[in-house]
Amino acid sequence: MLRSVGQTALERAALERVRTGDEQAFQEAIDPYRRELLAHCYRMLGSLTDAEDMLQETLLAAWRGLPRFEGRSSLRSWLYRIATNTCLNAIRSTSRRPPVEPTPPFQPPEPTQRDEITWLQPYPDSLLEGIADTEPGPEARYSQREAISLAFVAGLQRMPPRQAATVLLRDVLGFGTDEVAAMLKTSQTAVKGTLQRGRAALEKSWSDAEHPSPRSAAESDLAQRFADAYVAADIDRVLNLLTDDAWLSMPPAPHQYHGRAAVRSFLQASFAFREDREVYLLPGRANDQPAFASYLSDQEESIARPAGLFVLTLAADHIHAMTRFHRDDLYSRLGFPDLITTNR
C-alpha cells in the first residue's frame, strides 16, 4: 500500500489507479505540477527549449517509477526530486555546449565583455499562468514570479549546478533542509554550506532593487517610451531612459555592452543598418517583464521580418538592462507572429 503522508485524498486515489497502469490517472496526478516543474527546469537550465525536453524526461521517469513510489514524501516533492536530478544529469552530460554564435548583419563595435551564458532564452508569461504564487513555506525567500526574472535566472547559470539547485529548492520552493538533502542525496550539513555559498553568489549577480510593479501604469509607461524612442531611432531618448550602468546583451551572441556610452556605440551601428527601412515593435511579456518583438520592413515586399526579441529589466523609473534575443524560432512561443504585413 502507498503511504498517505504528505498526499491529498485526490493524489492517493489517482496513485492507486496508476499502480494498475492507468495512464489517465497518471495525467490527473501530475497535471497540477506540469507548469511549475517546467519553470523549475527553466531556472535550472536557462533555456526554454532545454527545459521542455527535461520536463518530458522527468514525466517519463515518473511514469516508469511511480509504481515503486512509496509515498514517504508528497508527490510534488518526489517530482521535484526527479526533475532536479534530470536537469543536473543533462548539464553534466552536455557540459553546457554553447549554441552557434549568429553572424551579425553589420559590424558591431567592440563589446565591453563577452558573456558565456549564450544559451539564455526568454520565458513566456503565458506559461506562468496557473502556477500558485503563494509562499510555499517559511524557508522560501523568493516568489515564483520574482525568481523567473532574467537577472535571477542568469545569476543561477553562473553558479555550479548543484549550488543553483540548492538555492532553488530551499529559497524559491521552500523545501526543508532535510528534504533537499534527500533530493540531492547528500547531508544536511552539505546543504547548509552549499546554500550559504549559493546565496552569496546570487547576491553578486542579481539585485532586488526597487522596480515598477509588474503590469503597473508606471511599468507600461516606461516600456512605451522605450518603444517610441527605439522605433524613431532616437538614440538620445533611448539613452535617457537607461540607468548609468545599464547593460545591453544579445543571446546567443556573446556581446555585452555596459554603460550608456557603450550602448550608444552599438545603437549607432544598429540604427545605421536600418537605412530607410521601418522598424515595428509589438508589445508582450516574458519573465514577468515587459517584452517586445521587433520587425524590420522588407525592401521588396510589404512585410516585416523578425529582428530580435527584447526583454526589459527595469529599476525604479529607468531601464537597467535590455536583453535582445536573436532567436526567430521563439517568436511564436511568446505569442508573436513570424512576420507582419506592412502598408508600403
Q: Residue 296 maps to which CATH number?
A: 3.10.450.50
238 and 226 in contact (C-beta within 8 Å)? yes
Averaged over 234-253, what is the pLDDT? 96
Q: Is 329 helix (H, G, I), strand (E, B) or coil?
A: helix
In the chain, % of residues over pLDDT 70: 89
Beta-carbon neighbour count of residue 14 at 10 Å?
21
Cell digits of residue 145:
514570479
Instruction: State the residue range of the domain holding 17.
Output: 9-205
Tell me what pLDDT residue 145 has.
80
Cell digits of residue 255:
556581446
Q: Are residues 191 and 228 in the same domain?
A: no
Q: Are residues 289 and 187 in the same domain?
A: no
Task: Answer whether residue 6 shows pLDDT above 60.
Answer: no
**H-assigned helices in the chain:** 9-18, 23-30, 34-45, 48-65, 75-94, 150-157, 161-167, 177-184, 188-205, 217-231, 235-240, 260-274
Q: Is residue 212 part of a domain?
A: no
Cα–Cα distance between 196 and 288 in angstroms, integer? Answer: 27
Residues in the chain: 344
Q: Is 4 helix (H, G, I), strand (E, B) or coil?
A: coil
**Which range is least confidently modeled, 22-26, 81-85, 209-213, 241-245?**
209-213
Q: Are residues 189 and 308 in the same domain?
A: no
Residues 6+ apart with CB under 8 A from 326: 102, 250, 251, 252, 253, 308
Q: Which of 153, 179, 205 is the last residue of a domain?
A: 205
Task: Answer whether residue 104 shows pLDDT above 80.
Answer: yes
Q: Which of 151, 170, 205 is the last residue of a domain?
A: 205
- The domain tally of the chain equals 2
Beta-carbon neighbour count of residue 203 at 10 Å?
11
pTM of the entire predicted model: 0.91
Q: Residue 82 maps to which CATH number?
A: 1.10.1740.10
Q: Are residues 132 and 69 in the same domain?
A: yes
Q: Is residue 1 part of a domain?
A: no
The vertex-134 CA angle with 131 and 135, nearest 5°, equals 125
DSSP assignment of 264-327 equals HHHHHHHHHHHTT--EEEEEEEETTEEEEEEEEE-SSSSEEEEEEEEEEEEETTEEEEEEEE--
Q: Is residue 4 part of a domain?
A: no
Q: Give the tens place of pLDDT for each residue, 283-313.
A: 999 999 999 999 999 988 999 999 999 999 9
